[in-house]
Amino acid sequence: MSKNSNKQGSKAFAAAIKNVVRHRLFIPIAFLAILILLNVFINPGFLRISMGRDSAGNPVLIGNLINILNNATELVILAIGMTLVTAASKGQDISVGANIAIVGGVIMRLLCGNETQPTQLHAPVIVAFLLGCLAGMLCGAFNGILVARFNIQPMIATLILFTAGRSIGSMVMGGLKPKAVSSFGIYGNFIPGFPVPTPIIITLVVIIITFIALKRTNLGLYTRAVGINDKASRLNGLNPALVKFITFVIMGLCVGVAGFIQSSRVQTVNPYTIVPSIEMDVILAVALGGNSLSGGKFNMAGSVIGAYTIQTLTSMLTTLNVNTNAVPVFKAAIIIVLVIIQTPIVKSFFSKRAILSRLTAGSGKERS
């Protein structure tokens, strides 16, 4: 009885381990855990969170984890939109950084007018936020029309705004680089008297709204159906062009929110240097989250975890004093590995090895 129970227990344990490894969140969570352990090894106080003071003397939470959660805000929000775009259109939007420059330009022009150092805001912040989101959605709609209506590949379609977007942002501001009053900075830093960075709260709200929308609507189902086979989805009554267009508009909305936060961090916008190379980080977050870059099924939770993983990696490289110009090399290497792992050749290889091991184990039992 004891031997049988031990065998059953070991089999149950092995089955549980296999289920954990096969879970779609295993790779992003495992990679994040490894990075956290490496950071703890490099800096034993990495996980420490304490109460400090900001420049105004208000009590705020400080620590490496707080910095990662705060600095990953824009990346997490953009990864949410990029996940839907990738799943539906089988491609990526590489214009998100340039579109943030446009959004930032619109927000600064509304808040500062034609002044470079205004003493008060020229428009309510809520108006600037809404029009900034509208500007981002218009950029997303432009990309969506090119992809959905004219069947241009997403990377080629978004290359237009990728090239021209930062110049458009500069033109919107009239070539100026205005700086808004300090009160605008609470949305990108801290609300006086509240110790948690405001961007973390905004990110949490965006994540909650996203998961509620995916759970209560058919957006996720339609996105998957169009990404897997748009012709079959059309036969089932869907409009693939409309679904793709909507995902790009949602991407634009995410750009609007991220652009608002980024503009508020320093109360100004330099269109040519704002969020440099964030496109690659967003795509890497989506890939690291276990999403196929060729479209179809997606894992939104994985993308969110992937975004925090990328920020953790960036923080670790900064701690190790890695040259800023060399950081993209490490990220590009990760992208290569992830893309290769997701190729049909690699997947078929491991599936064949698994089948072969089962057959070998079965023949051994028969001989015994």
pLDDT tens track for 97-121? 999 999 999 999 999 999 999 999 9
pLDDT tens track for 314-326? 888 888 888 878 8
**Quick one: pLDDT at residue 4?**
65
What is the mean pLDDT of the segment spanning 246-254? Answer: 98
Higher pLDDT, 271 or 335: 271
Least confident window among 133-137, 259-263, 316-320:
316-320
pLDDT band at 134 (very low <50, low <70, confident <90, very high): very high
Least confident window among 28-37, 235-244, 257-266:
28-37
Q: Which CATH number fits domain 39-44+62-338: 1.20.120, 1.10.3470, 1.20.58, 1.10.30?
A: 1.10.3470
**Quick one: pLDDT at residue 151?**
94
Q: Could you give the count of Cα atoms lying within 13 Å of 311 in the half-sphere of its Cβ?
A: 20
CA distance 146 to 162: 14
Q: Please, are residues 146 and 152 in contact by the beta-carbon 8 Å criterion?
A: yes
**Quick one: pLDDT at residue 331?**
75
Residues 156, 274, 304, 351: is their CA dihedral positive or negative?
positive
Least confident window among 29-33, 153-157, 165-169:
29-33
pLDDT band at 31 (very low <50, low <70, confident <90, very high): confident
**Quick one: pLDDT at residue 317?**
85
pLDDT tens track for 325-360? 888 887 777 767 766 766 667 666 666 665 556 556
Burial class (CB in 10 A: 0-12, 13-18, 19+), 123: middle
Domains of the chain: which residue ranges?
A: 39-44+62-338
